[in-house]
């Protein structure tokens, strides 16, 4: 950031009324008379964005790099990373505090559902941000729309503490809690069918691919949280038996008409995450690969890079036999969900430190839970 902007930011932060000074500084920096100080020529050329159904085509050098880096991290280390996932994210926030991610002011622009789902002006909306981090999406959304109440949760207890310490945190407008979305039941914190929209923004990529479907089931359906693990009521079982249990439990959670959900009928699931062939994927060094499109960073946190096909398949638990796939797809249709759109978002982002424009690829999807249909009519002749 330009020294003049840094000095101005320091001065504004000493004045009263935090919300007003934040808006003033953002306007001065991004759109006001000082905007030119914060934009280099390379950044000006990189301001465009486009969308498409096919991911970015790699150059021959990039293809060669991915072909060379095929060695996987050992199973022992992978198990250790899974076991210490929460610890690694807690250490990440301890090192970076609230300074790593930028505030996301593009949420309502990319997801117009956060505005258009109102039936009348001034209607109160309820949003669940699953994986809120330190509030980079939460607080801009609450600032922009005063008629939103938000539930927000994160895997890291430290991140949740940072959200609660934020100057804009208001318990009357948001409820923040720690939650492992693959294990903990959201219904312990969020009333059933009370949420108009659920956001999954850069959160599923941090979850092991074999557990992603558990997050979606937790958001959309009540997932039985008892599982055959140490300390539970279930006896020791073989891996095949565990897969069978998981399949049966998930099927019951999907198909049961009494299953409760946090998402209202007609509500939306809004997804955005890293896409295949994103620049960040190509920066991983040899020895960082955990699986197909799945990598570990030096700090132990992990990242998955999605394709359109992968996000669709995430709704189908990976341990299900192939013969069940058609049946499960029909179950989701019968349960009242539809895919609105899934597309890649391409941006040219400037790396100011290195003076480079790098190609970013994100996957953006929207799913909608269909409204409840009318109750079936009763045939008096059959009584």
Which helix (H) or strand (E) segment holds residue 116: the answer is helix 113-116
Using an 8 Å Cβ cutoff, are 132 and 163 in contact?
A: yes
Q: Please report whether residue 102 resides in a domain.
A: yes
**Domain membership flag for residue 48:** yes
Which pLDDT does position 18 carry in this prediction?
54
Question: What are the CA-CA distances from residue 313 to residues 129, 328, 329 (Å)?
Answer: 22, 11, 10
Question: Does 4 fall in a domain?
Answer: no
Cα 271 from Cα 50, distance rounded (Å): 17
- Domain membership of residue 76 as a residue range: 39-369
CATH number, domain at 344? Answer: 3.40.50.150
Give the whole-angstrom CA distance, residue 31 versus residue 39.
Answer: 11
Tell how many helices (H) and how many strands (E) occur in the chain. Answer: 15, 11
The answer to whether residue 58 is domain-embedded is yes
5 located within any domain:
no
Backbone angles phi, psi at 162, to 5 degrees: -65, -40
Whole-angstrom distance, CA of residue 344 vs CA of residue 306: 10
| Confidence at residue 383, expressed as pLDDT on a 0 to 100 scale | 42
pLDDT at 261: 78
- Residue 335: closest CA among 221, 245, 195: 221
Which residues of the chain are modeled with pLDDT < 70? 1-48, 220-260, 311-337, 351, 353, 372-383
CA–centroid distance for 7 within its chain: 34
Does residue 361 form part of some domain? yes
In 247-336, which ranges are E strands?
Answer: 263-274, 289-291, 294-296, 302-304
Q: What pLDDT does residue 179 have?
A: 95
Question: pTM of the full predicted structure?
Answer: 0.73
Strands 356-369 and 174-178: unpaired
What is the spatial distance between Cα 361 and Cα 201, in angstroms, rounded to a whole number?
14
Query: Which residues have CB under 8 Å from 72's CB, separation 6+?
Result: 78, 289, 290, 291
Crossing angle for the helix pair 85-96 and 157-165, to the nearest 10 degrees: 40
Closest Cα partner for 118 from 197, 175, 200?
197
Closest C-alpha among 302, 296, 285, 282 to residue 212: 302
**CA neighbor of 95 nearest in space, from 155, 158, 153:** 158
pLDDT at 350: 73
Whole-number percent of the chain with pLDDT over 90: 45
What is the per-residue pLDDT for 339?
79
What is the structure's pLDDT at 68?
92
Could you read off the pLDDT of 37-74 as tens digits, one per residue? 444 343 333 446 788 878 888 889 999 999 999 999 99
Measured distance CA(337)–CA(37) in Å, rounded:
47
Q: Could you tell me if 301 and 82 are in contact, meaning their C-beta atoms sit under 8 angstroms apart?
A: no
Give residue-wise pLDDT tens across range 308-346. 777 666 654 454 444 434 443 443 444 456 778 888 999
Residue 12 in any domain: the answer is no
Strand stretches in the chain, DSSP E? 49-52, 125-130, 148-154, 174-178, 195-201, 263-274, 289-291, 294-296, 302-304, 337-351, 356-369
Domain count, the chain: 1
Nearest to 104 by CA among 132, 83, 80, 64: 132
Domain assignment of residue 332, yes or no: yes
């Amino acid at each position: 950031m330009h020294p003049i902007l840094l000095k101005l930011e320091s001065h504004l932060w000493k004045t009263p009324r935090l919300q007003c000074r934040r808006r003033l500084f953002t306007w001065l920096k991004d759109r006001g008379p000082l905007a030119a100080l914060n934009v280099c020529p390379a950044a000006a050329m990189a301001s465009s964005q486009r969308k498409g159904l096919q991911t970015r085509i790699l150059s021959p050098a990039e293809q060669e790099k991915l072909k060379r880096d095929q060695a996987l991290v050992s199973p022992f280390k992978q198990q250790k990373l899974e076991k210490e996932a929460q610890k690694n994210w807690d250490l990440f926030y301890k090192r970076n505090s609230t300074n790593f991610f930028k505030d996301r002011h593009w949420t309502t622009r990319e997801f117009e559902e956060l505005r258009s789902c109102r039936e009348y002006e001034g209607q109160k909306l309820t949003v669940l941000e699953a994986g809120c981090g330190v509030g980079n999406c939460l607080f801009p959304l609450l600032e922009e729309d005063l008629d939103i109440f938000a539930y927000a949760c994160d895997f890291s207890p430290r991140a949740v503490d940072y959200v609660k310490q934020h100057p804009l945190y208001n318990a009357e407008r948001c409820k923040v809690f720690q939650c492992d979305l693959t294990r903990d039941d959201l219904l312990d914190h969020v009333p059933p069918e009370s949420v108009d929209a659920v956001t999954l923004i850069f959160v599923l990529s941090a979850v092991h691919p074999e557990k992603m479907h558990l997050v979606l089931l937790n958001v959309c359906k009540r997932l039985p949280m008892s599982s055959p693990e140490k300390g539970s009521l279930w006896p020791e079982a073989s891996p095949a038996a565990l897969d069978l249990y998981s399949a049966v439990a998930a099927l019951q959670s999907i198909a049961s008409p009494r299953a409760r959900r946090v998402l209202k009928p007609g509500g939306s699931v809004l997804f955005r995450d890293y896409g295949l062939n994103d620049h960040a994927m190509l920066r991983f060094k040899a020895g960082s690969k955990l699986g197909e499109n799945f990598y570990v960073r030096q700090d132990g946190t992990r990242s998955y890079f999605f394709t359109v096909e992968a996000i669709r398949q995430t709704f189908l638990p990976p341990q299900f036999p192939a013969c069940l796939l058609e049946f499960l797809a029909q179950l989701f249709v019968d349960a009242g969900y539809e895919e609105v759109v899934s597309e890649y978002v391409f941006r040219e982002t400037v790396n100011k430190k290195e003076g480079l424009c790098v190609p970013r690829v994100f996957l953006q999807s929207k799913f909608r839970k269909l409204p409840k249909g009318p109750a079936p009519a009763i045939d008096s002749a059959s009584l």
